[in-house]
Amino acid sequence: MRDSKKTAAPAPVQWIKHKGLSNTGVLLLITISLFVLLYVISLILFADSNFAKYSVFFNLINSKAHLLMLALGVTVVLITGSIDISVGGVTGLVSMVIAVMLMEYGVNAIWAIPMSLGIGLAFGIVQGFLVAYLEIQPFIVTLSGMFFARGMISVINAKSVPISDPSFMSWSSAKVFIPFLYNVRRNGTHDIAYLTPAAIAAIVILIVLIIALKKTKFGRSLYAVGGNPQSALFMGINIKRTKFMAHVLCSVLAGIGGLLFTLFAPSGNPGNGYGYEIDAISSSVIGGVMLNGGVGLPIGTLFGVLINSLIERVVPLLGIVDASWPRIISSAFLFVFIVLQSVFASASTKGGFKLLLPQWMKFKRKHTAET
């Protein structure tokens, strides 16, 4: 009797344990409800700016397909307990290289794809090698990567290069309309929701990543390495190779992100991708990826990106024209979620407040007791 009574009305924490909701689940739940809440608030506050339309919702994805790529890459790296802040630089570099390649050398637009993948791969291999095999702090390595990429942009070209290559522009402006999702405008025409090819590519890669992280050996070893490297080692996982692969994957995704960004804003500009690393990291963190590694889901990252995209859309409606406000608000969100994570992590450790150094901050000093 008493047992059944207990299960009938459990305390919230017990309920969470009972339902098997881990930290991942709770953080994901918070993110999704935050997005829904924000969307509903903007629906009510800005009733005349079409938030109820399907097309507006899908445009949230269309305008941030590149950010989704960067954030997914950062997610993968963060899950292994590492970090990558060169993604913004890689994005800018790829867009500049594509612009110069198409406009000044007249190369066929199809070469933009291998080029962006190649740049990402090169960055990934170098950074991954330095981080995984030489065990240098990923932050320093990728900070240098970021400055290297930013410098290379201006070495290649210091001016803005608008792209007018016809086949590239046709990819850029193509729309794939989604059947049955439309609103009727006042004049009777249909406002059909659409996705750009870039958004479709991003969604396909997102689905592939969701499956890969859940089902494949590589995906599971990422979580194992980030969660507890010691036990991952005992399980026979090659930690160094896993970290290396994570960095390669992240930079390749950043390269793809650069391509998608160029499709979204077809010009090579020295300022392209500036500050995207913080957008990517904040999207991941808001999406429930723990900075300490081992926790996080790609689907959460999608919602993190959507929240960022929504902020960028709502802030101008509040009457703030200045472009710097979305970034301030996004940083504030990042701050709140980092604090939230810290609280979560300290609550889950029984011995009170433990030092929450992530795995890449644990230096190889053998006598350090604060691991």
Partner 1 sequence: MRNTEIKPVKIDSEPFFKRLLSHRLTFSLVVLLVVVVQNIITTPDFFKISMTNGLISGYIPNILDEASELVIVTLGMTLVIAVSGGVDLSVGAIMAIAASFCGLLLNGAEYRTDVFHNPYILALFVGLLGGGLCGVFNGFLVSRLKIQPMIATLILFTAGRSIAKQITHGQTIYIMNPVYKWLGVQIPGVPIRTTILISIAIIILVTLVTKLTSLGLYIQSVGINGSASRLVGLNSRAIKFMAFVICGVLAGAAGLVGSSSVGSVNSGELGLSIEMDAILAVALGGNDLFGGKFSIAGAVIGAYTIQAITTTLYAMNVRADQLNVFKAVIIIVIIVASSDVFKEKIKRFTRHLFSKNMSLGGLSDERQ
Residue 23's Cβ-side half-sphere holds a number of Cα atoms within 13 Å equal to: 21
Q: In the set 108, 133, 170, 185, which binds partner 1 (CB under 8 A)? A: 133
DSSP secondary structure of 21-65? --HHHHHHHHHHHHHHHHHHHHHHHTGGGTTTSHHHHHHHHHTTH
> How many residues sit close enough to partner 1 to count as binding (CB under 8 A)?
54
Q: Cβ of residue 146: shortest distance to partner 1, in angstroms?
A: 8
Residue 25, interface with partner 1 (CB under 8 A)?
no
Residue 136, interface with partner 1 (CB under 8 A)?
yes
Residue 366, interface with partner 1 (CB under 8 A)?
no
For CA atoms 314, 318, 321, 323, give the dihedral sign: negative
Region binding partner 1 by CB under 8 A among candidate stretches 21-29, 30-38, 138-146, 217-225: 138-146
Q: Cβ of residue 371: shortest distance to partner 1, in angstroms?
A: 9
Residue 344, interface with partner 1 (CB under 8 A)?
no
Residue 349, interface with partner 1 (CB under 8 A)?
no
Q: In the set 24, 63, 228, 331, which binds partner 1 (CB under 8 A)? A: 331
Q: Cβ of residue 108: shortest distance to partner 1, in angstroms?
A: 29
Q: Is 178 helix (H, G, I), strand (E, B) or coil?
A: strand
**Interface characters, 75-114, with partner 1 (x: CB under 8 A):** --------x-x-----------------------------
Other residues' Cβ atoms within 10 Å of the Cβ of residue 109: 18
Q: Cβ of residue 226: shortest distance to partner 1, in angstroms?
A: 14
CB of 245 closer than 8 Å to CB of 127: no
Q: In the set 49, 50, 137, 183, which binds partner 1 (CB under 8 A)? A: 137
DSSP secondary structure of 321-368? --TTHHHHHHHHHHHHHHHHHHHHHHHHSTTSS-----GGGS-S-TT-
Region binding partner 1 by CB under 8 A among candidate stretches 16-24, 136-144, 198-206, 218-226: 136-144
Question: In what helix (H) or strand (E) does residue 195 lie, and over which residues does it extend?
Answer: strand 190-195
Residue 368, interface with partner 1 (CB under 8 A)?
yes
Residue 267, interface with partner 1 (CB under 8 A)?
no
Identity (one letter) of the amino acid at 367? H
Using alpha carbons only, give the angle 183, 49, 181 rounded to the nearest 5 degrees: 20
- Token pair 């902020």: residue: 311
Residue 327, interface with partner 1 (CB under 8 A)?
yes
Please give the torsion angle defined by the CA atoms of residues 42, 46, 49 and 53, in that order, rounded to the nearest 10 degrees. Answer: 50
DSSP state of 265: S
Residue 161, interface with partner 1 (CB under 8 A)?
no
Instruction: Give how far the C-alpha of residue 266 lies from the chain's centroid of Cα atoms, to the nearest Å.
Output: 21
What six digits make up the tokens of 352? 């009170």
Residues at the site binding partner 1, with contacts judged by CB under 8 A: 83, 85, 130, 133-137, 139-141, 143-145, 147-148, 150-155, 158, 270, 275, 278, 281, 291, 322, 324-325, 327-328, 331-332, 334-335, 338-339, 342, 346, 353, 355-358, 361, 363-365, 367-370
